Amino acid sequence: MEIPQAFLENVRDEAWLASLPSQLEHWCTNWGLQVEGPPWHGFLGLVFPVSSPAGPAALKLTRVDVETRDEASALRVWGGCGAVRLLESAPGVLLLERLEAGRSLAGVELELAVREAARLLRRLSVPVDGGFLEMGEYAEGLLELASQRWERFQPFPREWLRVPEVRQGLLINQDLHYENVLGRGVEWLVIDPKPLRGEPEFGVAPLLWNRFDGELGRLDLIVDEAGLDRGLAREWTLFRTLEYWLWALDLGFTEDPERCRLLAERLVKDGR
């Protein structure tokens, strides 16, 4: 089993990495799978193309943390409507329908991609009573870390950094971006969700960060297509952009902080 070097550089959990060959063998045996090629990977998971008794599928092995632990539960709620269909699961292991891995919204003309992603943002925002990480709790945790980083870097006025009030209890995906939307025939479906229970406006930010052009016209397009509250979308996008800016500075990145600065300044000006 050959693990891509880029994935090894992202993941520092040596014990989990060492367990991957035995995990792959176990779940292939348990679910009657045959690996059909090398894995794809994201930041925290490996995805193997496999044949299954139900047809072509994808076996995902992922580290379990606060952002990934509820992925299978969210996919069950969505049931293949707007997101990839879940076939089987165990902690840190998901068997998924296989989509068109080489066809994502990242390769679609920008306005069309934004409209499609915004419609998916709304489609996946469905009521849930509980069982998922609360968005307010998650945001307060981000704020605590961001506040510590702000003390080190102080790249913007401290009063910009605040958490808006959470007003809804919908299942949302906080990591919807163009590379995480793949084709299935004429449909577009979300993969690799990071679910929270809160409000869809929290999910707008990655659609501005990715394929960045620095303009706020895209915010209006997303808000219109998804039927969102523009003021709330601006507030959450500003908070998430400032948190991302500080996180990127802490890691020594150079391009990401500059993009965040440009977007944050436009969002602050827009709110005056």
* Residue 198: strand pairing partners: 170
Angle, alpha carbons 20-79-222 (nearest 5°): 95
Q: 150: number of CA atoms within 13 Å, CB side?
A: 17
Decide: 170 and 197 in contact? Cβ < 8 Å: yes
175 is catalytic: yes
Say whether 47 sits in a helix, a strand or coil.
strand
- Residue 163 is encoded by which pair of tokens? 């958490």
For the chain, what is the total number of helices (H) and then of strands (E)?
Answer: 9, 12
* Separation of alpha carbons 148 and 154, rounded Å: 10
Residues 6+ apart with CB under 8 A from 206: 174, 175, 176, 177
Active-site option among 65, 70, 129, 175: 175
Q: Which amino acid is at 257?
A: P
* Residue 96: strand pairing partners: 58, 86
Decide: 207 and 222 in contact? Cβ < 8 Å: yes
Task: Provide the annotated active-site residues.
Answer: 175
